[in-house]
Amino acid sequence: MAPSAIEVESTAYISSIPSVKKILSDSRLSKSNGIVFGDFRDELIRDGYAVVKGAVPRDRADAYGKAFYDFLESFNLGYDRNDSSTIKRDNLPVINEKGMVLDYAAPHENFVWQVRSEPGVVETFEKVHGTADLIVSFDAINIGFHDRSDFPKNKPWPHQDQDPAKPGFRCLQGLVNLQPCGPNDGGLIVCKGGHVVSEEFHRDMVDEPRIPAWTPEWFGFTKNGMKWLEDHGLEWVKVCAEPGDLILWDSRTPHYNVPSTSKQDRMAIYTCYMPVSEATQEDLIRKKRAFEERLGTTHWPNARHLGTNIAKRDGIPCPYNRSRPFVEPVLTERAFKLTGIPYIEGLQQ
Ligand SMILES: [Fe+2]
């Protein structure tokens, strides 16, 4: 359904060029199309991922990193950012083996909303989607401690975040990196160019048993699947970035994250935007509830799945569960549009 009354002023950078989405959706164009953007879009189209340098100015990225540590210390369970010996599960909110904090209203902490509202981040997605009428996911935040000895092992889980039955470009994922992230620091690893061969892969491997997943929108690569990628000359690349850089990847590009082998914590805020025109009114109403109840949505901005804010600690609800953020978000007008609420028809503003 088309968005309702909201008028977002178009800017030249959006309207005068073909959207990346259109290019990536057309398989004839995804390899060599002659279009040169001269920025991250060229890498994104060619490699299936890209790094947008300095999408968030360094001073603000550092402030968001501090706010992330404030959030972790706000539970008063014994974690101290300046004392590595306090990196214990009992001293922290529940963090899964991949480093994600899914609950405790973390997706709505003020600093998380500030990251989502950063002009350099929002404009990047406007350029890709060719519209300023976007909605943003309320996704998890990620802390990959340099010492994970008290945490479950983070094993590789190479995957695509897209149902193979729905091929073509559908979703651009992103994360804002908040700590130095070099080759030995934890973070995203991608199979370069995997988006281009995705349909061929799924045709060839149609008989391969599927790794069970909670949603058809997740496809895990088996040992045979990994061999297929290797046999076709594809390579895995650890994506490096500085604080404030925005990392983007096509959901078809195989990816996962690796733990740090250095003394550096890894810190990421997931940021994913889609045109509001791709969400239904029902989606937007569900998303409004997620916003008001401070729930997470996964990376899908149309809030296909909602979280609960009931973290489980050793199988039972964590006694430190929260239903509101440590610091409630203060949204700018631009950020509020990204909630999708202003696009709900018939809603009193
Ligand atoms: Fe993923």
* pLDDT of res. 16: 52
State the distance from the centre of ligand 1 to the C-alpha of 226, rounded, in angstroms: 16
Helix (H) or strand (E) holding 191: strand 187-191
State the distance from the centre of ligand 1 to the C-alpha of 340, rounded, in angstroms: 23
Among 27, 64, 67, which Cα is nearest to 45's?
27
pLDDT at 337 over 90: yes
Query: pLDDT (tens digit, 9 = 90+) per residue, 168-226?
Result: 898 999 999 999 999 999 999 999 999 999 999 999 999 999 999 989 999 999 999 99
pLDDT at 37 over 90: no
Query: Mean pLDDT across the stretch 294-307?
Result: 94
Band the pLDDT of 12: cuts 50, 70, 90.
low
Residue 269, beta-bridge partner list: 141, 176
pLDDT at 252 over 60: yes
State the distance from the centre of ligand 1 to the C-alpha of 161, rounded, in angstroms: 5
pLDDT at 32 over 50: no
* pLDDT of res. 20: 74
Superfamily name with CATH number, domain 5-343: q2cbj1_9rhob like domain (2.60.120.620)
State the distance from the centre of ligand 1 to the C-alpha of 85, rounded, in angstroms: 30
What type of residue is 220?
A: G
Six-digit token pair at 34?
């002659």
Sign of CA dihedral 108, 109, 115, 117: positive
Please state the domain extents for the chain. 5-343
Average pLDDT score, the chain: 92
* pLDDT of res. 349: 55
Residue carrying structure tokens 């082998």: 261
State the distance from the centre of ligand 1 to the C-alpha of 42, rounded, in angstroms: 22
- Nearest-angstrom CA–CA distance, 97 and 257: 10
Instruction: Give how far Cα 224 sits from Cα of 137, 206, 227, 228, 233, Å.
Output: 33, 12, 5, 6, 14
Q: Which residues surround ligand 1, an ion (CB under 5 A)?
A: 161
- Nearest-angstrom CA–CA distance, 312 and 181: 30
